[in-house]
Amino acid sequence: MANKPYLFKVRDLEPHEAEKMKVFTGEKTGFVRIGPKGYILSHRFLEIGADIYNMEIRPSDVFVVTYARSGTTWTQELVWLVANDLDYDTAKSVYLTERFPFLEFSMMVHPTMIQRYLENSHGDEKKQKEIKMITSHVVKQVEEAPSPRFIKTHLPLSLLSPKLLDAKVVYVARDPKDVAVSFYHLCRSMTFMGWTGDFKQFWELFISDLQYWSPFFEHLKEAWAMRHHPNLLFIFYEELQKDLPGVIKRVSAFMGKNYNDVEVATLCEHLNVKNFKKNPSINNEQFKELGLTTPDLEFIRKGKSGGWRDYFDEEMIARTDKWVEENLRDTDLRFPSAE
Ligand code: A3P
């Protein structure tokens, strides 16, 4: 850990938990639990955790914070365009990953995997440069970046700066059944995660809170508790689905912007999943060539709510419902229905 104060205890996973997590074949050192809630992160988080916690927050910063696969990318593009006076030219010509860097990304890619990607590039210097850039420490780049900064993270609020809400934060939550399916596909196609199990195995870990950035409900509840804070906007993926213009208006008001109906309709079109899928500044297709993902990666996949029904049998539905019910018992957080 860097030489900065860090409050949180770091624990190893229990041996039986670590064993189960070995199905993530891209993570070569394994996982740790951080802090009282035991958030699970890959081992390399220890290189950046203190820097992230102690990061200087600027009032002009804009964070999109989510549990993975909850609609982060969709919201990032929406937020970035709203904040930047609908500058489609820049949005289309600069990768979202550059406009809106992923704070803890360096923890995801193990040095062994970086070495493998470099070797597989067969001396192609351009590719090697890209691999090194993508896998370098984002935190340092963010620290030095000019304002306003736009930052994506899947870390829960408690692992970010205690001054986080001096900045603007948009938090997005999604029905966990859809998150599980979407996350499963992602973990299979990101070779640095390298999930090799089937969906049922993935889901077992997910509802045991044994996944990257889990426990899922603790993550959501931390943000839900802050939803009335003027600098935090809490939205649901299902709201984006049902009423995208309405969410654009809420985000605009939150960012101190005002757009007319035509501008909102144009933004809705830009954000439509069909256009998103083929938008090269969004869809991460550039990762394929570098070997960071399998050739069949669909970073922007179905883009629907309720797709989980094709993946869950009766027993899985019952157990997930019980897990959800138990976790919602002490909170008024409820997921809007998908219909
Ligand atoms: P599915 O895998 O269910 O399709 P994140 O950006 O947090 O990784 O979330 C990814 C999920 O959001 C994926 O869900 C993806 O397809 C969906 N998504 C991304 N862009 C979208 C859009 N413009 N409209 C609807 N869904 C979108």
- For residue range 73-86, what is the model confidence (pLDDT) as tens digits? 999 999 999 999 99
Categorize the per-residue pLDDT at 338 as very low, low, confident or very high, splitting at 50, 70 and 90: low
pLDDT for 4 equals: 76
Cα–ligand 1 centroid distance for 99 (angstroms): 18
Answer yes or no: is pLDDT of 1 > 70: no
> Long-range pairs for 72-75 at CB < 8 Å and ≥24 separation?
72/152, 72/154, 72/172, 73/276, 73/282, 73/299, 73/300, 74/237, 74/240, 74/271, 74/276, 74/303, 75/170, 75/172, 75/235, 75/240
* Interior angle at CA 38, CA 332 and CA 225, nearest 5: 25
* Range of weakest confidence among 53-57, 89-93, 124-128, 333-337: 333-337
pTM summary value? 0.97
Residues in the chain: 339
- Mean pLDDT confidence for 107-117: 97
Of 65, 67, 69, which is best to mutate to test ligand 1, by the most ligand atoms within 8 angstroms of its C-beta?
69
pLDDT for 70 equals: 98
Number of the ligand 1 atom closest to the C-alpha atom of 302: 4
> Which residue bears the tokens 């939803």?
227
- Provide the ipTM: 0.99
- Mean pLDDT confidence for 102-120: 97
Contact 216, 320 (CB under 8 A): no
Q: How far apart are the C-alpha atoms of 53 and 5, rounded to whole Å?
A: 9
DSSP for 103-139 reads TTGGGGS-HHHHHHHHHHTTT-HHHHHHHHHHHS-HH
Contact 100, 150 (CB under 8 A): yes
- For residue range 18-72, what is the model confidence (pLDDT) as tens digits? 999 999 999 999 999 999 999 999 999 999 999 999 999 999 999 999 999 999 9
* 45's tokens: 């988080």
Residues with CB under 6 A from ligand 1: 66, 68-74, 178, 182, 185, 271, 273, 276, 300-303, 307
Q: What percent of the chain lies above the pLDDT cut of 70?
A: 99
pLDDT for 175 equals: 97
Number of the ligand 1 atom closest to the C-alpha atom of 76: 6
Contact 42, 89 (CB under 8 A): no
pLDDT for 3 equals: 66
Cα–ligand 1 centroid distance for 119 (angstroms): 32
- For residue range 198-252, what is the model confidence (pLDDT) as tens digits? 999 999 999 999 999 999 999 999 999 999 999 999 999 999 999 999 999 999 9
Mean per-residue pLDDT over the chain, rounded:
96
Answer yes or no: is pLDDT of 309 > 90: yes
Categorize the per-residue pLDDT at 118 as very low, low, confident or very high, splitting at 50, 70 and 90: very high
Cis check for the bond before 156: say yes or no (omega within 30 of 0).
no
* 159's tokens: 């692992």
Cα–ligand 1 centroid distance for 12 (angstroms): 32
Q: What is the DSSP letter of 312?
A: -
pLDDT for 219 equals: 98
Answer yes or no: is pLDDT of 339 > 70: no
- For residue range 282-306, what is the model confidence (pLDDT) as tens digits? 999 989 999 999 999 899 999 999 9
Categorize the per-residue pLDDT at 106 as very low, low, confident or very high, splitting at 50, 70 and 90: very high
Contact 309, 336 (CB under 8 A): no
Answer yes or no: is pLDDT of 147 > 80: yes
